Amino acid sequence: MTSFLSKKKDNQSYEEKLATVPERTRQSKLYAIKVFEDFVCEKYNNRTVADIVEELQAIKKTQEQEAYDEALYGMLQDWINWNENRGLGNYTIRILFSNLRKYLFHIGIKTYEQDIKEILRFGKKTREERYPLSQDIYRQIVNGFAQSDNRHCF
């Protein structure tokens, strides 16, 4: 028997939950879901996220925990690899994964920090120069090369 207090955990209830968060945060979280939906559709022959959730729940009920973990984390690793192949940056994938993980928890799929660290492989964080050279520094570099070219050192 289902309680009248129980709410269905789906996209609509998740969007309702996000109604009170700042707009940019909400957009970021919904974008992560959209990316996941695109992955599921492409990778699993036009299936939906609901189909994936049903399949994972069926595996959890009928098979060992190890089979469930293998299916869940295998799918998540495929999602990470799919995003890398699409050209998304490593930091972007990590942020998307963090938001996706919150959504998955909402719909009843729990992931564990230790399992994520041990099983999933993300690309290395790349360090980018935060501030490009100023025009003055660039001019000094160019002038320095121009002066050394005039000396003709052999």
CA torsion sign for 135, 139, 142, 144 is negative
136 within domain boundaries: no
Rg over CA atoms, the chain: 24
* Domain-embedded: residue 2: no
pLDDT digits over 55-112, tens only? 999 999 999 999 999 999 999 999 999 999 999 999 999 999 999 999 999 998 999 9
Q: What is the pTM of this model?
A: 0.75
CA distance 127 to 130: 9
| pLDDT mean across residues, the chain | 86
Is residue 102 in a domain? Answer: yes
Specify the number of domains making up the chain: 1
Is residue 112 within a helix (H) or strand (E), and if so which, with residue range?
none
- For residue 22, being part of any structural domain is answered with yes
